[in-house]
């Protein structure tokens, strides 16, 4: 793992060109941030100070883990969007959450294979750092695949089960509360993923 350090300059001594993300001009005297990615890299990444141009961890990582970080970052807004979805069926929501986590697990599998290939190239027989990283990532991907929401949604006091009375506001509130807990649990599984 090698995350680049981001430097902030409050007043540029010379023209810095354009922000590489949104094209904002960075003339002399403007504030900007910059970093170089990778060992002895000479390519300087330059961004303006807008919050939307803040570099993501995947943009700062120079190892194979960058694609795992990118998958996690792409999954986050998809998970957050589910908080506002109207839930009619707990199974459909569970499936949607599992699909998002599976996408991250699949991206992780690709990196695991690359680390395994590196281990073979060095003749490590599973005793190299690459093999160790592959094992850690493989376990993390498996944990994402095994994720399940905690429990089933509860019906309201007037009904025995969710959906027994379509249009019941209390049942809908109970289902939305369960949805929020399930999405939160999936977000937590993603955040606790050991990479």
- For residue 54, give Cα distances in angstroms to 122, 134, 137: 37, 29, 26
CA distance 77 to 97: 12
Dihedral sign for Cα 160, 164, 168, 170, please: positive
pLDDT, mean over the chain: 88
Enumerate the domain spans of the chain.
7-60, 66-191
Burial class of residue 108, CB neighbours in 10 A (0-12, 13-18, 19+): buried
* pTM for this entry: 0.82
Mean pLDDT of 71-95: 88
Model confidence at 58, pLDDT cuts 50, 70, 90, reads very high
State mean pLDDT over 92-114: 95
Tell me the mean pLDDT in the region 30-52: 91
Task: Let me know: does 63 contact 4? Beta carbons within 8 Å.
Answer: no
């Amino acid at each position: 793992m090698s995350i680049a350090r981001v430097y902030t300059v409050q007043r540029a001594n010379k023209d810095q060109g354009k922000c590489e993300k949104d094209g904002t001009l960075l003339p002399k005297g403007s504030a900007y941030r910059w970093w170089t990615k990778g060992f002895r890299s000479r390519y300087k990444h330059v961004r303006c100070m807008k919050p939307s141009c803040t570099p993501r961890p995947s943009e700062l990582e120079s190892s194979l883990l960058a694609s795992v970080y990118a998958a996690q970052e792409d999954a986050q807004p998809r998970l957050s969007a589910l908080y506002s979805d109207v839930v009619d069926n707990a199974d459909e929501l569970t499936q949607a959450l599992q699909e998002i986590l599976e996408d991250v697990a699949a991206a992780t599998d690709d990196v695991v294979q690359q680390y395994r290939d590196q281990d073979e190239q060095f003749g490590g027989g599973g005793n190299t750092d690459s093999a160790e990283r592959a094992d850690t990532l493989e376990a993390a991907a498996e944990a994402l695949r095994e994720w399940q929401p905690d429990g089933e949604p509860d019906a309201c006091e007037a009904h025995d089960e969710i959906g027994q009375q379509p249009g019941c506001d209390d049942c809908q509130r109970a289902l939305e509360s369960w949805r929020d807990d399930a999405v939160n649990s999936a977000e937590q599984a993603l955040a606790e993923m050991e990479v």
